[in-house]
Chain A
Amino acid sequence: EVQLVESGGGLVQPGGSLRLSCVASGFTFRDHYMDWVRQAPGKGLEWVGRTRNKVNSYTTQYAASVKGRFTISRDDSKNSLYLQMNSLKTEDTAVYYCARVSLAGAREFDYWGQGTLVTVSS
């Protein structure tokens, strides 16, 4: 059974930093691209960014809203995905989901974690 478990959320002041983790199980983690998607309270889904697999040099992509502030990384030996968030703003308040990208076309998110809430507030 595919499982994605996020952790690391919490309350942080504007300008602060936070690191989220996502531990994967039930599939060959190293084969998949992995993404982060967020959802502000009562709002829709917003893509945050992606890390590709080793075959694709672990390259990353980011949404314009977080580029230069957020960094996505992974450790295939630990089946883990990370999101380092710096210079946090109040508008970054959201539930952050890690999502597995399907192998077929790398276009859809076929499994999601339960999410971890990040609140940016003074």
Chain B
Amino acid sequence: SYELTQPPSVSVSPGQTASITCSGDELGDKYASWYQQKPGQSPVLVIYQDSERPSGIPERFSGSNSGNTATLTISGTQAMDEADYYCQAWDSSTAVFGGGTKLTVL
């Protein structure tokens, strides 16, 4: 079965750029989405179709996808961005999520 691999944790200082990767076989040939989940809350879509931002998502969130890796980039990271982030793609008519990355802003 298809797997998406994310680092368990990423740390960033406030105002700096955070990058969260998601690796999967030929992931660049698929569309990747990213979700933010804060403690006790439901996931929120922050990036879809590799690099598109839904309305209401700050411009500091961006995405890219090439080769075997999709990347979520948060520029000028703020304390409110501290959360778990999940990548997601489709393979063989099945939605697959990465294991999640805990972003710590310190």
Cβ A112 vs Cβ B48 within 8 A: no
Which chain B residues (15-72) contact chain A, with CB distance < 8 Å?
31, 33, 35, 37, 42-45, 48-49, 54
Given known A44-B97, A102-B48, A107-B90, contact A112–B31 (CB-CB < 8 A): no
* Interface residue SS majority, chain B: strand
Q: Which of A64, A97, A104, A105 contacts B43 (CB 8 A)?
A: A97
Cβ A45 vs Cβ B43 within 8 A: yes
Q: Which of A44, A61, A104 contacts B93 (CB 8 A)?
A: A61
| Contact residues on A (Cβ < 8 Å of other chain), bracket | 20 to 34
Distance to closest chain B CB from A116 (angstroms): 11
Q: A37-B43, A107-B49 are in contact. List 16 more A-B contacts (CB 8 A).
A: A35-B95, A44-B98, A44-B99, A45-B43, A45-B88, A45-B100, A47-B96, A47-B97, A61-B94, A107-B31, A108-B33, A108-B45, A108-B48, A109-B43, A110-B48, A112-B43
